[in-house]
């Protein structure tokens, strides 16, 4: 398989994934084009271009898109769902010194200023204008204190990084986590949201079953996309674990609050079919 798998969602939207053999988290990144520029959301888990040629892949897609659209220049912005997340920030170094680009600052206070959120964090929203495609920036701390989600009105997609994805969600601050899910639910109720796309996949296609950490062979993965209705399930589960050191298995994700990400449980939750996955 290629070291960076590329799936073209439509003519202006690309889903990129790091090969699981290069890094076990196999994170996703997303490349979006507008009339005035492009946005790369997240940058993967490996800095070395020899193993993970993210910039080379992104530049090749941009060159191809330029040819399709007869554009001489496409400025690139790179933004992270969390600068703290080592599975999504390592490839950033590959873009150092690249012409015609902007890297959203990773220190929290500087990032807030960039998005105009210094006095409105976490209640406000920011924006990245790509020209005819304005991406909304929603503060969503909880997994990480600097977490943000991105909403694309062109595709009606929420990009949620580590906050909500089909996998092992490690809660950093359960109060912030609940508040961010409440904010996302209100946002999704006010805007058309077709899919939620997170930063990883750990779940199998069998409900409640997931791959443990460091597994670099995952033949029975669940699909990446999540329906917006799953925000309600995530919010109920987050309230259930709030203030407790525990893990909670749900059909499409697993929450870890105050416990090791390698924690196991003998208490299979009600409402989740206990099916042995194929091995």
Residue 151 to residue 158: CA distance in whole angstroms: 5
- List the structure tokens of 6: 């590329």
- List the structure tokens of 178: 């609940």
pTM of the model: 0.96
∠ CA(146), CA(152), CA(153), 5° rounding?
A: 140
Judge whether 171 and 246 are in contact, CB under 8 Å: no
- List the structure tokens of 91: 């490839």
DSSP annotation of 212 reads P
Residue 267 to residue 170: CA distance in whole angstroms: 19
pLDDT in tens, the chain (279 residues): 899 999 999 999 999 999 999 999 999 999 999 999 999 999 999 999 999 999 999 999 999 999 999 998 999 999 999 999 999 999 999 999 999 999 999 999 999 999 999 999 999 999 999 999 999 999 999 999 999 999 999 999 999 999 999 999 999 999 999 999 999 999 999 999 999 999 999 999 999 999 999 999 999 999 999 999 999 999 999 999 999 999 999 999 999 999 999 998 878 888 898 898 877
Main-chain phi, psi angles of 175, to 5 degrees? -65, -45
DSSP annotation of 107 reads S
DSSP annotation of 229 reads T
């Amino acid at each position: 398989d290629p070291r960076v798998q590329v799936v073209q969602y439509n003519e202006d939207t690309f889903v990129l994934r790091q090969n699981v053999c290069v890094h076990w988290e196999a994170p996703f990144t997303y490349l979006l084009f507008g009339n005035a520029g492009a946005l790369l959301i997240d940058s993967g888990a490996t800095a070395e271009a020899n193993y993970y040629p993210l910039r080379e892949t992104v530049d090749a897609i941009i060159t191809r898109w330029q040819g399709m659209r007869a554009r001489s220049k496409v400025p690139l912005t790179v933004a992270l769902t969390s600068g703290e997340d080592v599975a999504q920030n390592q490839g950033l170094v590959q873009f150092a010194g690249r012409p015609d680009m902007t890297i959203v600052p990773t220190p929290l206070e500087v990032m807030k200023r960039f998005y105009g959120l210094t006095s409105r964090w976490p209640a406000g929203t920011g924006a990245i204008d790509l020209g005819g495609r304005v991406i909304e920036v929603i503060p969503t701390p909880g997994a990480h204190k600097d977490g943000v989600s991105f909403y694309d009105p062109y595709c009606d997609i929420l990009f949620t990084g580590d906050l909500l994805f089909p996998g092992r969600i490690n809660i950093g601050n359960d109060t912030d986590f609940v508040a961010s899910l409440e904010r996302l639910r209100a946002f999704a109720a006010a805007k058309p949201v077709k899919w939620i796309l997170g930063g990883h996949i750990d779940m199998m296609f069998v409900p409640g079953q997931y791959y443990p950490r460091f597994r670099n062979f995952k033949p029975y993965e669940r699909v990446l996309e999540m329906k917006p209705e799953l925000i309600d399930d995530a919010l109920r589960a987050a309230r259930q674990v709030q203030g407790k050191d525990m893990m909670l298995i749900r059909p499409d994700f697993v929450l870890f609050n105050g416990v090791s990400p390698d924690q196991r449980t003998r208490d299979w939750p009600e409402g989740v079919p206990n099916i042995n996955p194929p091995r």
